[in-house]
Amino acid sequence: MSEDLIQSYSTKDLSIATICSHTALQIFHGARQEGFKTIGICRPERKELYEAFPYGSPDEFLLVDDFSEILQSEIQDRLIDAGAIMVPHGSFVEYVGPSRILEDLRVPTFGNKMSLNWEGNRHQELKWLSDAKLRLPNKFEPHEIDRLCIVKFHGAKGGRGFLLVSSEEEYHQLLEKSLKEGKISRLDADTAVIQEYAIGVRCYVHYFYSSILNRLELLSMDQRLESNIDELHRMGSTRQELAKLGVDPSYVVMGNIPMVLRESLLPEVLALGERTIESSQKLFSPGLTGPFCLEMICTPELEFIVFEISARIVAGTNLFPLGSPYSCYLWGEAMSTGRRIAWEMKEAQRTERLGEIIS
Ligand code: ATP
């Protein structure tokens, strides 16, 4: 981003903008708490939803038929004139794409856009998490499968179509079935990742790395509710019995529930976050700044196996618009991740360090 743009933003009244989806209610709510004007990039049919929640609604709607329109020159100029800083969230990254955000989005964006690219590329993500010395699920080639494994497809958005297999034979059988039923493409099949199915309790930890305060904050955590896998046990059937009934497991996120960890596990969880930040600073300087989430499984030995990173605000933070059982001890007031982003921007502008937190 140009020095001129940073200069012009340093004295402007800034506003916070995002796409109306995912964590937008929380982002607008938090921005308003910190005194920012807000702009919601919205599809016409979604406007009503945001208007139904006045404290989470943007001050101004910028209506588009397709979210990729935000890359159009006149829309970007309009946002820059309004002193907008974009907050990327999961739907934002999915609709616009990490490489177009990096290359074509001129509007200043909260955080380091490079981290979205590192997260979005499976090889780079693996390099990042390995370099951080996190324990990752073992990876397998089809002929090596000797235990329960999860087969993940890059194109399969949000866990739809993932397979559970425990032998090479089962892998080929289920893969062919998914291809025949059109659930996955040939490209999905060729680029599938086979991972050990980690047995334990899932935990999605929401961190915030502050470049301005030079510290890592543990803001909250959640557990995702994934359909249908989270309720399949109620049928009391084995995997094979379910398959005969035509019931395939899927991991589609439909909501989130709050969680806390036993206190003795917190030092380890903080250390995992610290190492993730240190590694990002080494791999793509200046590294990740702002919110991120490590998705992990805590085994019965109380070890954490990390299976994914999200280098942006995650939807599980929507549980805590009024703060969490962790953010209250850091801030002494109702600090959500959305508000924390706005606070960082305000403080960066006040101390003339905006260039460190936007890209
Ligand atoms: P998203 O982009 O929404 O995070 P995704 O397509 O990247 O989804 P993952 O987050 O990797 O997929 O996995 C989806 C779900 O599958 C997880 O939330 C978890 O329930 C389960 N899962 C993934 N990897 C493993 C694993 N190695 N062991 C056990 N469960 C797993």
pLDDT 10s digits, 58-91: 999 999 999 999 999 999 999 999 999 999 999 9
Q: For residue 10, is pLDDT > 80?
A: yes
- Tell me how crowded residue 64 is: count the other CB atoms within 10 A of its CB: 17
Write down which residue in 196, 215, 241 finishes a domain: 196
Question: Has residue 329 been placed in a domain?
Answer: no
Cβ of residue 295 lying under 6 Å from some atom of ligand 1:
yes
Cβ of residue 140 lying under 6 Å from some atom of ligand 1:
no
Residue 296, classed as helix, strand or coil, is strand
- Cα–Cα distance between 29 and 55 in angstroms, integer? 6
Write down which residue in 71, 90, 110 finishes a domain: 110
Question: Has residue 336 been placed in a domain?
Answer: no
Q: Per DSSP, which regions of the chain are E strands? A: 15-19, 37-42, 60-63, 84-86, 139-140, 149-152, 163-165, 193-196, 201-210, 215-228, 251-258, 290-298, 304-310
Write down which residue in 166, 196, 226 finishes a domain: 196
Question: Has residue 307 been placed in a domain?
Answer: no
Q: Report the CATH number at residue 190.
A: 3.30.1490
Considering the domain architecture, whether residues 105 and 68 belong to the same structural domain is answered as yes
Number of domains in the chain: 2
Residue 158, classed as helix, strand or coil, is helix
Task: Output the pLDDT for position 128.
Answer: 98
DSSP state of 320: -
Name the closest-CA residue to atom 21, ligand 1.
251
DSSP state of 161: T
- Cα–Cα distance between 332 and 141 in angstroms, integer? 49
Question: Has residue 242 been placed in a domain?
Answer: no
pLDDT in tens, 157-202: 667 889 999 999 999 999 999 999 998 999 999 999 999 999 999 9
Q: 25: domain range? A: 3-110
Question: Has residue 91 been placed in a domain?
Answer: yes
Give distance in angstroms: CA of 250 to centre of ligand 1: 10
CB 311 within 8 A of CB 119: yes
Residues in a beta bridge with 100: none
Q: What percent of the chain is modeled with pLDDT above 70? A: 99
Give the least confident one: 19-23, 121-125, 264-268: 121-125
Considering the domain architecture, whether residues 103 and 7 belong to the same structural domain is answered as yes
- Cα–Cα distance between 243 and 231 in angstroms, integer? 15
Q: Report the CATH number at residue 55.
A: 3.40.50.20
Question: Has residue 259 been placed in a domain?
Answer: no
Give distance in angstroms: CA of 204 to centre of ligand 1: 11
Considering the domain architecture, whether residues 12 and 93 belong to the same structural domain is answered as yes
Residues in a beta bridge with 150: 164, 195
Among residues 15, 303, 280, 254, the alpha carbon closest in space to that of 125 is found at 280
Considering the domain architecture, whether residues 77 and 146 belong to the same structural domain is answered as no
Question: Has residue 270 been placed in a domain?
Answer: no
Cβ of residue 314 lying under 6 Å from some atom of ligand 1:
no
Residues in a beta bridge with 282: none
Considering the domain architecture, whether residues 105 and 165 belong to the same structural domain is answered as no
Question: Has residue 101 been placed in a domain?
Answer: yes
pTM, two decimals, is 0.96
Give distance in angstroms: CA of 300 to centre of ligand 1: 19
The continuous run of DSSP H or E covering 283 comes out as helix 266-283
Name the closest-CA residue to atom 10, ligand 1.
308
DSSP state of 46: G
Phi and psi at 305, nearest 5°, equal -105, 120
